[in-house]
C-alpha cells in the first residue's frame, strides 16, 4: 500500500484543529506537524494529546520540516498567507489555503477539482463560498445571462474564531469574486451574519438570483444533482428550501451541520470548508498513487 500524503497544518485555531481531527480519519492523509504560535492554545494541546508533533515556531517550523512534508494546509489569515505562499512555493510544497487570500486557484471540489490538480496553491474560498458557489454554478448551468446573485450565510458567533473575524472584509470580497467567476453573473453580493443566539444556530446559506426567465424545473434538477455530489464529501450539507420564485428572484436555501469533530455540530462552517480541503488533498494523494 502506497504511503499516505504527509501533511502539515499551520494555524491551530478552530479551523486548523477541526481539520486535524478530519485528517486522522483519512485513508490517504497523515498529519506530521501542527505549527502555531502558542503551545498552550487549545488547538496545540489537542494536537499534543493526539501525539501529533507540534511547534510554536509557525512558518519557521514548516521550513525546518519541509523535507518530511508533501502538502501544507494554511489555516492562518489572509495576510499571513500572502507571505506563507511564497515560502511554500520555494520549498516545493503544495498549499491548500483555508483563508480568503485569493492567492491560489479557487477550488470547489464538486465543480472544478480536476482542473486544480496541476496547481501548487489552491484557495478554498470561504465557508459561505463552499456552500453557495456550487448552487450558483448549478443555477448558471441551466439559466443564462444571470443579472445578479446574492448569497447570505448565517453562522453561530461562537464558531467564528479571531482569524475569521479579522478577515471579514476579505471573506466578503472573496466570496463575491467566487460567485461571479463560477456563475458568470454580471453582479454578486455576499452577506455574512454572525448570530450570537444561544443555543447556537446551525449554518444556513441562501442564494438569490435575478434572472429574466428562470427555468425552475431545470434548476431544481441541477440543484438536486449538485447537492447529492456535495454530500459525498460534506455529509451535513442539506437542501432545506428547494428552488422557488420569490419576489421575482430565484431562491434556494441549504443548511450545513458539522460532524462535531472539534466544536459541536452547529459549526457547519468549519465542516464545509475543511471537508472541501480534505477532498482536495485526497485528490492529490490519489493522483500521486496513480502516477
pLDDT along the chain (291 residues), means of 10: 90 97 97 97 97 98 98 97 98 98 98 98 98 98 96 97 92 98 97 97 98 96 98 98 95 98 97 98 95 76
pLDDT exceeding 90 applies to what percent of the chain? 96
The verdict on whether residue 35 carries a ligand-binding annotation is: no
Nearest-angstrom CA–CA distance, 11 and 120: 19
Could you count the other beta carbons within 10 Å of the beta carbon of residue 88?
A: 27
The verdict on whether residue 162 carries a ligand-binding annotation is: yes
In degrees, to the nearest 5, what angle opens at C-alpha 181 toward C-alphas 179 and 183? 65
pLDDT of 291 reads: 76
The verdict on whether residue 160 carries a ligand-binding annotation is: yes
DSSP state of 8: E
Nearest-angstrom CA–CA distance, 109 and 275: 10
Q: Specify whether the CB–CB gap between 131 and 181 falls below 8 A.
A: no
Active-site entry in 34, 127, 200, 275:
127
Place of cell 491548500: 96
pLDDT of 1 reads: 58
The domains found in the chain, sorted by start residue, are: 5-124+271-290 (3.40.50.720), 127-266 (3.30.360.10)
Give 239's strand partners.
254
Tell me the whole-structure pTM to 2 decimals. Answer: 0.97
Q: Are strands 5-10 and 187-195 parallel, antiparallel or unpaired?
A: unpaired
pLDDT digits over 171-215, tens only?
Answer: 999 999 999 999 999 999 999 999 999 999 999 999 999 999 999
Whether residue 127 lies in the annotated active site: yes
Amino acid at each position: 500500500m502506497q504511503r499516505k500524503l504527509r501533511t502539515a497544518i499551520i494555524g491551530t485555531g478552530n479551523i486548523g484543529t477541526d481539520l486535524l481531527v478530519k485528517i486522522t480519519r483519512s485513508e490517504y492523509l497523515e498529519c506530521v506537524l501542527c505549527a502555531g504560535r502558542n503551545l498552550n492554545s487549545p488547538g496545540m494541546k489537542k494536537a499534543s494529546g493526539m501525539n501529533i508533533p507540534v511547534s510554536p515556531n509557525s512558518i519557521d517550523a514548516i521550513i525546518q520540516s519541509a523535507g518530511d512534508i508533501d502538502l501544507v494546509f494554511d489555516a492562518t489569515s489572509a495576510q499571513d498567507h500572502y507571505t506563507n505562499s511564497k515560502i511554500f512555493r520555494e520549498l516545493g510544497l503544495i498549499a491548500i489555503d483555508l483563508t480568503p487570500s485569493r492567492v491560489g486557484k479557487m477550488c470547489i471540489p464538486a465543480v472544478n477539482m480536476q482542473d486544480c490538480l496541476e496547481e501548487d496553491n489552491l484557495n478554498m474560498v470561504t465557508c459561505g463560498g463552499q456552500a453557495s458557489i456550487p448552487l450558483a454554478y448549478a443555477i448558471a448551468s441551466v439559466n443564462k445571462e444571470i443579472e445578479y446573485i446574492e448569497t447570505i450565510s448565517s453562522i453561530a458567533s461562537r464558531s467564528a474564531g479571531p482569524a475569521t473575524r479579522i478577515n471579514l472584509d476579505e471573506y466578503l470580497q472573496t466570496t463575491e469574486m467566487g460567485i461571479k467567476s463560477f456563475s458568470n453573473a454580471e453582479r454578486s453580493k455576499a452577506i455574512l451574519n454572525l448570530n450570537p443566539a444561544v443555543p447556537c444556530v446551525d449554518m444556513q446559506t441562501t442564494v438569490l438570483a435575478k434572472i429574466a426567465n428562470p427555468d425552475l424545473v431545470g434548476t431544481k434538477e441541477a440543484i438536486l444533482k449538485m447537492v447529492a455530489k456535495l454530500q459525498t464529501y460534506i455529509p451535513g450539507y442539506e437542501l432545506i428550501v428547494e428552488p422557488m420564485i420569490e419576489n421575482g428572484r430565484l431562491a434556494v436555501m441549504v443548511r450545513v451541520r458539522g460532524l462535531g469533530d472539534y466544536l459541536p455540530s452547529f459549526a457547519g462552517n468549519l465542516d464545509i470548508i475543511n471537508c472541501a480541503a480534505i477532498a482536495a488533498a485526497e485528490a492529490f494523494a490519489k493522483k500521486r498513487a496513480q502516477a
